[in-house]
């Protein structure tokens, strides 16, 4: 995972400089940030590789270093997030137009993404245990939710723009709506004959 994070760290700022970090593209009804396309792709295939290798082995093992150092990764993710916010704001305000600050801001974003990914994996590895039945359903549909959630996040955001709500209100509304819509969609798909094929290994 470290190698993938480094690759993403090198590629994402380059794409941000080429396409503008605020530029968007669309493929049919699916909009995405052009500069982050490779960043998303790296993490997608990284997740597939980890799953294929086996969650019970490697650094995700129950007795692995990631689990034992969960608190360290949580602290690191908060520090990296604060750094990313600070550098990003500076790049867009005080140092607007500076290529060096653009690269620093894009690099800080990738660093924060990698640190947060490690932190969440460490938390789930450390505190994973018995869960209610409804969470068992979520776990069985998790991969499908990951595949379809982006469309719902984009569509719900677009739908709520006309309401002109403050970000602190819109954020939770988008999160809850997209999560429920994604979860429900995947659960329905898995009830049809073709969708049941995805139950293997769930």
pLDDT reported for residue 37 = 72
Closest by alpha carbon to 16, among 39, 46, 42, 45? 39
pLDDT reported for residue 18 = 64
Counting Cβ atoms within 10 Å, is residue 94 exposed (0-12), middle (13-18) or buried (19+)? exposed
pLDDT reported for residue 85 = 92
Closest by alpha carbon to 76, among 123, 12, 8, 133? 123
The predicted model gives 124-149 an average pLDDT of 72
Closest by alpha carbon to 12, among 116, 106, 114? 106
The predicted model gives 176-196 an average pLDDT of 84
pLDDT reported for residue 88 = 85
pLDDT reported for residue 175 = 92
Half-sphere exposure of 74 (CA within 13 A, CB side): 10
More confident residue, 99 or 149: 149
For the question of whether the overall pTM of this predicted structure is more than 0.75, the answer is: no
Model confidence at 17, pLDDT cuts 50, 70, 90, reads low
| Highest mean pLDDT pick, 3-17, 23-37, 48-62, 66-80 | 66-80
pLDDT tens digits along 116-133: 988 988 888 888 765 555
Model confidence at 155, pLDDT cuts 50, 70, 90, reads confident
Distances (CA, A) of 139 to 108, 120, 132, 133, 187: 31, 15, 11, 10, 11
Place of tokens 């979520």: 138
Closest by alpha carbon to 55, among 125, 110, 107, 109? 125
pLDDT tens digits along 75-100: 999 999 999 999 988 888 877 777 78
Residue ranges covered by each domain of the chain: 2-127, 133-199
pLDDT reported for residue 12 = 58
Please answer whether residues 81 and 112 qualify as being in contact, where contact means their C-beta atoms are separated by less than 8 angstroms: yes
Query: How far is Cα 76 from Cα 119, in angstroms, rounded to an integer?
Result: 8
118's CB contacts (< 8 A; 6+ apart) are 1, 66, 73, 76, 77
Specify which residues 30 forms β-bridges with.
Answer: 27
């Amino acid at each position: 995972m470290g190698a993938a994070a480094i690759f993403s760290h090198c590629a994402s700022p380059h794409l941000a400089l080429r396409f503008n970090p605020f530029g968007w593209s669309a493929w049919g009804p699916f909009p995405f940030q052009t500069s982050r396309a490779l960043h998303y792709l790296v993490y997608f295939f990284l997740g597939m590789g980890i799953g294929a290798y086996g969650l019970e082995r490697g650094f995700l093992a129950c007795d692995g270093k990631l689990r034992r150092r969960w608190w360290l990764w949580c602290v690191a993710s908060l520090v990296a997030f604060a750094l990313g916010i600070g550098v990003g704001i500076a790049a867009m305000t005080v140092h607007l137009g500076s290529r060096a600050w653009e690269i620093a801001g894009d690099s800080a974003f990738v660093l924060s993404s990698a640190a947060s990914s490690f932190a969440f994996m460490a938390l789930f590895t450390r505190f994973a245990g018995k869960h209610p039945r409804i969470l068992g359903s979520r776990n069985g549909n998790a991969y499908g939710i990951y595949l379809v959630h982006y469309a719902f996040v984009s569509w719900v955001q677009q739908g709520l723009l006309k309401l002109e709500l403050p970000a602190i209100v819109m954020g939770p509304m988008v999160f809850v709506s997209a999560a429920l819509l994604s979860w429900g969609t995947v659960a329905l798909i898995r009830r049809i004959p073709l969708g049941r094929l995805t139950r293997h290994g769930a």
